[in-house]
Structure 1
């Protein structure tokens, strides 16, 4: 473990943290994205039982996790993120220090951690400072929906990433969990919706298996351009970046809604 990792793990001030493990499994276990629901069970077993019980009472979970195959390195990656101090301290930091060998009860075999990494550790204030500084101006974002993603609207699954729905999701989570400034202007939601242009997408349907039920979803690339006032574009940039930690859509604690982005513009 590096000195940097030691410093981060010891710091009580981190609001937002993402870690990832390079993993492999016993030959008897197939590594697929629906294994996320099993891995959620592993997390609940590893953390303090009282905190696990507390998390189950939340209507909006302050953490997300998913597994995916990295085509560049040809390895499976398990990523875990949290967006509150409590969840960072009691879940992500605990998971970062778990054994290299985790028993999966439902699969009767082991998951092996080959390498572990702190992807990012930051605070709400640091993100605000970064994205609202005068020398930064992004014009859009390229999203990659890394694990199956879906929304549920009026009791029905919505299997297309409507742009306004993405940012409404992230804005709600920011205002729920932020330890600093909230973004609750009455006009902000409308301004956000009017400032989004879908520039490109390459999506495909992808189902997610959860307790013998198939949930319809989508994966793939999705590019959005920002327009309008600078302040609104800064909000959009901030929320786009924040989305990598929260995930998006339904079942983000169980392996769905994993997302990565690449902001476009200048900084």
Structure 2
């Protein structure tokens, strides 16, 4: 079960709502849980939620996107998100204004929808700071292998009914992708007293994949808009949207 909420947000005093405040919004979500629900979430270990803040320049608004990645996440967080109108934080109050909620779908729906997507050339827009970790060091430039690995790891955590567990296929998938263009800038994501190095912007990936692997890549791209890419997506990092040339499979 997968769905996404999008809220237009604003502070009551008119100050900007920055991407790093997503961490505080997530802390508010946790504080809104009942003790029994908080214990259930803690027992699971991995938190089945991804969320981030992004600025929409065309509408001149800030949007809070919250993705619920499995049934537990819906049971715990959907009642809170369905009814909340304000968020009280230490530094002020955030108004949750216009709300949209995507149709709830399961992984099978996501796989079927992905077959209609042409992924020969894909642009990934990184709206909130993204980063990877390799050999205990932050990696602040995206690589094809790191993107694929991040998406597969997230998928296997939260979609166990459709496991992706063929390392040879993953290697062929990464080998068949090429970053062909990018416009990125380095930035940091403030998390309490720490600033995590990362990047925002866009990159374009060209696919040289066989049809079966192209379908897998398409599914992972659809998943990316819910799961995010990279580290700490639960706390507000790695929020993305995907831009591909849509093509109806029936039309060739």
When structure 1 is superposed on structure 2, of 158-167 and 117-126 the one drifting more is: 117-126
- Kindly indicate whether the alpha-carbon contact (under 8 Å) linking 2:132 and 2:230 is maintained by their aligned counterparts in 1: yes
2:82 is the counterpart of 1:97:
yes
* Cα shift at 1:136: 5.2
- Kindly indicate whether the alpha-carbon contact (under 8 Å) linking 1:96 and 1:116 is maintained by their aligned counterparts in 2: no
Give the 3-state SS of the residue equivalent to 2:206 in structure 1. Answer: strand
Partner of 1:231: 212
What is the alpha-carbon distance in structure 2 between the residues aligned to residue 136 and residue 97 of structure 1?
A: 31
CA 1:57–1:248 in structure 2 vs 1: closer, same or farther (change >3 Å)? farther
What is the alpha-carbon distance in structure 1 between the residues aligned to residue 206 and residue 12 of structure 2?
A: 43
Partner of 2:13: 27
What CA RMSD, in Å, does the superposition of the two structures yield over aligned residues? Answer: 1.8
Partner of 1:72: 58
Residue among 52, 67, 72 paired with 2:38: 52
* Cα shift at 1:255: 1.0
Matches within 5 A, 1:86-165: 86-91=72-77, 93-104=78-89, 106-107=90-91, 109-132=92-115, 137-165=118-146
Which deviations, in whole Å up to 9, do the C-alpha atoms of 1:18-53 show, x marking residues without a partner? 001111112175411111111111110223333333
* Cα shift at 1:69: 1.1
TM-score, with structure 1 as normaliser: 0.86
Give the 3-state SS of the residue equivalent to 1:187 in structure 2. Answer: helix
Partner of 1:187: 168
Partner of 1:213: 194
What is the alpha-carbon distance in structure 1 between the residues aligned to residue 29 and residue 215 of structure 2?
A: 34
CA 1:136–1:70 in structure 2 vs 1: closer, same or farther (change >3 Å)? closer
The number of residues matched between the two structures is: 248
- Kindly indicate whether the alpha-carbon contact (under 8 Å) linking 2:133 and 2:231 is maintained by their aligned counterparts in 1: yes
Which deviations, in whole Å up to 9, do the C-alpha atoms of 1:144-180 show, x marking residues without a partner? 0000111121121110111111111111222222153
What is the alpha-carbon distance in structure 2 between the residues aligned to residue 136 and residue 255 of structure 1?
A: 27
Which deviations, in whole Å up to 9, do the C-alpha atoms of 1:180-225 show, x marking residues without a partner? 3222224211111111011110000111111121111100001101
CA 1:161–1:43 in structure 2 vs 1: closer, same or farther (change >3 Å)? same
What is the alpha-carbon distance in structure 2 between the residues aligned to residue 55 and residue 16 of structure 1?
A: 17
CA 1:137–1:76 in structure 2 vs 1: closer, same or farther (change >3 Å)? closer
What is the alpha-carbon distance in structure 2 between the residues aligned to residue 28 and residue 260 of structure 1?
A: 27
CA 1:201–1:46 in structure 2 vs 1: closer, same or farther (change >3 Å)? same
* Cα shift at 1:239: 0.1
- Kindly indicate whether the alpha-carbon contact (under 8 Å) linking 1:19 and 1:120 is maintained by their aligned counterparts in 2: no
What is the alpha-carbon distance in structure 2 between the residues aligned to residue 165 and residue 51 of structure 1?
A: 33
- Kindly indicate whether the alpha-carbon contact (under 8 Å) linking 1:17 and 1:121 is maintained by their aligned counterparts in 2: yes
What is the alpha-carbon distance in structure 1 between the residues aligned to residue 179 and residue 50 of structure 2?
A: 26
Q: Which runs of 5+ in 1 are unaligned?
A: 1-14
